[in-house]
């Protein structure tokens, strides 16, 4: 299994190099894109193999598919990989999303001078580095990969993004880099502490976990905050979030899916893998503060999402609200809430990916992300509107969709110990319905209107708003013309979205297999933090 994991890490990186080399020749562009897709498909198969071989249940080790080779002996860092349930689900999500976005990007129009091969290469390198980030069991390796992950995403935004892509890319970069530097201080601190306490310095996660958990609270807190800074920016939690709407709005759709769906999860993954187990006392001490940030994020993100007029920024703000839910579950310290958060990371990846892709398909037709340029799209593109609705319902955690399970687990699990935070966040479900249905109403329903729909084709600036009553019935010839020009989803586009729709529904009714994989890591994390589930008032242990 460890060989499979190693291949999963290296294959996209090698592929990126090859595809990147092919990007120099225009006639190889198509071949490069096909190669990229094929490699991402192979990654998906490898992940399925890993998943099938992953053992769950009592007595199984937390980390599986482990592998460790000496890397820089001078300060005891090793190239060490291993998967627990949380890392495995994140890597699985990655393997599902990459082929989908590559397929989606196939038909995207790129900025002048950019090639599909170049794009594919950046995407593959992101995938490879992200596998490493999730699989690293050496803290130094994790840090290096955490920083390295910025580079391809920086280029994805800065080269392939929207009009303000330079600004957004630099902002993204500075935020993340700053957070990373602060984390670096903590990483060094850990090493030094291990040197003092264990007699030799190490970056091994398991060794550090055993050591760091014994550190006094006064030492744990600064170290905790160092990691927290990096992860809170990455996740992002309010008030470290302002890079995300810019990055989300300027990123190309396919890049944005990876950014919002996966890259950000490194933040919450980091909370679970580093903050909680390494600094349990600090985690418990600081939890009230972090829970406060979390519920502020839920309400703040939702309210801001409700008043956005740019669809991509809108999706970014909904994500900020959802990261609030995830952080709530993590710092509420119960089996249900932490499992809920880990599952939420997967589900948010799926539903946000779907939502962002649908927005992308809409922009492909209308030429703009501005909501005010659309109206009544459901009349000319009913399939597109239906897909938007499915993504939206998953985003607002309607029961029967995947997100319900995770949101329910987070809120229910948080309630016994943190009733106030849980109740405030529960009120957030009303805000969620508000922002999502409002956007759906403005963009998808009502009479046909907006220059992007009834203007002169994609990007038409002429504000030919149709208000006359005679427009658009499915049988009305003018509506048929518009349908033909604006265009409903093509077969290929439906095919891109279908796996996500299937995941949304299947995980909504059958989350069991994923929860089973997550459970050992969750209970291990609970033990490392030193908390047990609260007991009912009637003395019945749950």
Which residues within the stretch 500-529 sit at the binding site for other proteins (CB under 8 A)?
Answer: 509, 511-512, 515, 519, 522-523
Q: If binding is defined by CB under 8 A, does position 128 make contact with other proteins? A: no
Nearer to other proteins, 27 or 59 (CB): 59
What letter does residue 495 receive in the DSSP assignment?
H
- What's the rounded Cα separation, in Å, for the pair 155 and 449? 36
Contact 117, 34 (CB under 8 A): no
Nearer to other proteins, 49 or 188 (CB): 188
Residues 28-57 that bind other proteins (CB under 8 A): none
3-state secondary structure of 69: strand
Q: If binding is defined by CB under 8 A, does position 427 make contact with other proteins? A: yes
Query: CB of residue 197 vs other proteins: minimum separation in angstroms?
Result: 5
Interface pick for other proteins out of 445, 458, 460, 487 (rule CB under 8 A): 445
Q: If binding is defined by CB under 8 A, does position 17 make contact with other proteins? A: no
- What's the rounded Cα separation, in Å, for the pair 79 and 138? 7
What letter does residue 404 receive in the DSSP assignment?
H
Q: If binding is defined by CB under 8 A, does position 415 make contact with other proteins? A: yes
What letter does residue 111 receive in the DSSP assignment?
P
Residues 216-275 that bind other proteins (CB under 8 A): 219, 238-239, 241-243
Interface pick for other proteins out of 8, 215, 230, 452 (rule CB under 8 A): 215
Interface pick for other proteins out of 162, 189, 210, 458 (rule CB under 8 A): 189
CA dihedral of residues 309, 313, 315, 321 (deg, nearest 10)? -100
Position of tokens 């190693």? 6
Size of the site for other proteins (CB under 8 A): 97
Query: CB of residue 33 vs other proteins: minimum separation in angstroms?
Result: 24
Contact 179, 233 (CB under 8 A): yes
Q: If binding is defined by CB under 8 A, does position 173 make contact with other proteins? A: yes
Interface pick for other proteins out of 90, 153, 304, 311 (rule CB under 8 A): 304
Q: If binding is defined by CB under 8 A, does position 541 make contact with other proteins? A: yes
Q: Output the CA–CA distances (angstroms, integers) from residue 228 to 269, 291, 302, 455, 478, in the order listed.
A: 11, 13, 23, 48, 56
Residues 388-407 that bind other proteins (CB under 8 A): 393, 398-400, 405
Interface pick for other proteins out of 17, 34, 423, 460 (rule CB under 8 A): 423
Nearer to other proteins, 43 or 394 (CB): 394
Q: How many CB atoms lie within 10 A of CB 528?
A: 18
Q: If binding is defined by CB under 8 A, does position 475 make contact with other proteins? A: yes
Residues 348-377 that bind other proteins (CB under 8 A): 376
Q: What are phi and psi of 79, to 5 degrees?
A: -90, 90
In SS3 terms, 255-317 reads as HHHHHHHHHCHHHHHHHHHHHHHHCHHHHHHHHHHHHHHHHHHHHHHHHHHHCCCEHHHHHHH
Query: CB of residue 30 vs other proteins: minimum separation in angstroms?
Result: 27
Q: If binding is defined by CB under 8 A, does position 147 make contact with other proteins? A: yes
- What's the rounded Cα separation, in Å, for the pair 224 and 249? 31
Q: If binding is defined by CB under 8 A, does position 483 make contact with other proteins? A: no
Q: Output the CA–CA distances (angstroms, integers) from residue 187 to 137, 147, 194, 329, 461, in the order listed.
A: 13, 13, 11, 25, 52
Exposed/middle/buried for 542, CB within 10 Å: 0-12, 13-18, 19+? Answer: exposed
Q: If binding is defined by CB under 8 A, does position 1 make contact with other proteins? A: no
Nearer to other proteins, 35 or 251 (CB): 251
Nearer to other proteins, 175 or 274 (CB): 175
Interface pick for other proteins out of 254, 429, 500, 507 (rule CB under 8 A): 429
């Amino acid at each position: 299994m460890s060989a499979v994991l190693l291949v999963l890490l290296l294959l996209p990186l090698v592929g990126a190099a090859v595809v990147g080399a092919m990007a120099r020749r225009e006639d190889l562009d198509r071949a490069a894109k096909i190669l990229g897709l094929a490699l991402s498909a192979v990654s998906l198969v490898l992940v399925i193999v890993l998943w099938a071989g992953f053992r769950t249940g009592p007595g199984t080790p937390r980390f599986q598919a482990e592998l460790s080779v000496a890397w820089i002996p001078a300060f005891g860092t090793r190239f060490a990989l291993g998967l627990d349930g949380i890392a495995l689900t994140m890597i699985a999500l990655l393997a599902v999303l990459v082929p989908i976005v590559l397929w989606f990007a196939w038909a995207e129009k790129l900025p002048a001078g950019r090639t599909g091969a170049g794009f594919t290469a950046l995407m593959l390198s992101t995938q490879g580095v992200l596998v490493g980030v999730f699989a690293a069991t050496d803290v130094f390796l994790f840090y290096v990969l955490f920083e390295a992950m910025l580079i391809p995403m920086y280029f994805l935004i800065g080269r392939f993004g929207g009009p303000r892509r330079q600004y957004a890319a630099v902002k993204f970069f500075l935020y993340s880099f700053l957070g990373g530097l602060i984390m670096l201080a903590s990483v060094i601190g850990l090493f030094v502490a291990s040197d003092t306490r264990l007699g030799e310095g190490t970056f091994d996660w398991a060794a550090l976990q055993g050591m760091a958990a014994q550190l006094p609270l006064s030492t744990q807190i600064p170290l905790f905050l160092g990691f927290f800074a990096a992860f809170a920016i990455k996740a992002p939690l309010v008030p470290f979030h302002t890079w995300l709407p810019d990055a989300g709005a300027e990123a190309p759709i396919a890049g944005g899916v990876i950014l919002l769906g996966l890259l950000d999860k490194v933040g919450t993954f980091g909370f679970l893998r580093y903050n909680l187990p390494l600094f349990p006392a600090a985690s418990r001490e600081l939890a009230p503060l972090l829970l406060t940030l979390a519920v502020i994020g839920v309400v703040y993100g939702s309210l801001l999402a409700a008043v956005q007029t740019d669809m991509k920024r809108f999706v970014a703000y909904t994500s900020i609200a959802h990261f609030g839910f995830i952080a709530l579950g993590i710092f509420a310290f119960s089996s249900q809430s932490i499992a809920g958060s880990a599952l939420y990371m997967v589900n948010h990846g799926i539903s946000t990916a779907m939502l962002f892709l649908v927005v992308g398909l809409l922009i492909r037709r209308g030429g703009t992300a501005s909501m005010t340029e659309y109206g009544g799209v459901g009349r000319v593109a009913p399939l597109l509107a239906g897909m938007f609705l499915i993504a939206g319902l998953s985003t607002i955690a309607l029961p029967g969709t995947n997100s319900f399970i995770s949101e329910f687990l987070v809120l229910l699990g948080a309630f016994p110990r943190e009733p106030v935070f849980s109740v405030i966040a529960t009120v957030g479900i009303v805000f969620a319905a508000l922002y999502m249905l409002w956007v759906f109403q403005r963009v998808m329903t009502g009479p046909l209107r907006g220059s992007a729909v009834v203007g002169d084709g994609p990007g038409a600036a002429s504000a030919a708003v149709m208000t006359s009553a005679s427009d658009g019935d499915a049988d009305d010839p003018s509506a048929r013309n518009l349908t033909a020009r604006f265009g409903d989803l093509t077969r290929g586009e439906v095919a891109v979205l279908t796996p996500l729709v299937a995941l949304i529904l299947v995980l909504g009714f059958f989350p069991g297999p994923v929860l089973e994989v997550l459970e050992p890591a969750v209970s291990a994390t609970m033990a490392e933090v030193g908390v047990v589930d609260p007991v009912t008032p009637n003395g019945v242990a749950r």
